[in-house]
Amino acid sequence: MSRQKSKRFAESKIMPNIIEMGKPNFLEMAGKWNSDFFLNTQPLVVELACGKGEYSFGLGKAFPEKNFVGMDIKGSRIYVGARSAIESDLSNVAFLRGKIENLRSFFGWKEVDELWITFPDPRPRDKDEKKRLTFSRFLKLYQHVIKANSIIHLKTDNRSLMDYTVQSVTDLGGEILVLTHDLYESDWREEHLGIKTYFENKFTQKGFKINYLKFRLPELSEPEGTIPPIFFRKEEMG
């Protein structure tokens, strides 16, 4: 492990806006984010696959009347967003280190008001379909934690992932609200406030067009199935 990563991991252990394995509140937040962490009743917005947290940080700064949680498995990455939030005195922004497969262990039934999925790994190989964050089993996870009529956003440079997602949402009975294959030449660009992730900046500089999708999923009347156990593989700990 590099010296920089070791330093970040050590600091993360004492940073109050990072929730991760080993901290007392790691598995205690589901259903209690507003009451026990943010200490208010503001809408809760979650960013999945947040990377360095540019979106959670940017949205948190733009919308102080909402609470934001960026979620990613890479501790060295979320450290960057968490540090930025502390330096900017943003008490409405936090970061969670965990696997999205375990979403129901971290967020309670219908606790989340809005979801963002920002530049996830497109998993282009057919055999990796089940790992795409818009595969049907992930969409069903989201249904457990989002409130009725909640909005879900997806941004990606990958057209194939966008087409796949539209089909997945439609197959599940979801509603497509906005779809564009060139966000910054569309009427929806202003909604994004100029906030870009590390990967988005990288892709746009190379001339890639950014796909954007806003959608809703059907509401579940009651929880389905059981909540899976929490575990990390060694390669996911960096």
Predicted local confidence at residue 237, as pLDDT: 46
CB 132 within 8 A of CB 120: yes
Average pLDDT over the chain, rounded to an integer: 92
pTM of the predicted model as reported, rounded to 2 decimal places: 0.93
121 is a catalytic site residue: yes
Q: Which one of 3.40.50.150, 3.30.70.980, 1.20.1090.10, 1.10.287.130 gives the CATH number of domain 3-225? A: 3.40.50.150
pLDDT at residue 32, as a whole number: 97
48 forms beta bridges with 71, 117
Domain ranges of the chain: 3-225
pLDDT score for 235: 41
Q: Which residues of the chain have pLDDT under 50?
A: 234-238
What is the rounded CA–CA span in Å between residue 212 and residue 183? 6
**DSSP for 45-114, written as a single string:** EEEES-TT-HHHHHHHHH-TTSEEEEEES-HHHHHHHHHHHHHTT-TTEEEEES-GGGHHHHS-TT-EEE
Query: Could you give the CA distance from residue 195 to residue 191 in angstroms, rounded to a whole number?
Result: 10
Active site residue: 36, 89, 113, 121, which one?
121
Please, what sign has the CA dihedral across residues 128, 131, 134, 135? positive
Three-state DSSP at 165 gives helix
pLDDT at residue number 236: 43
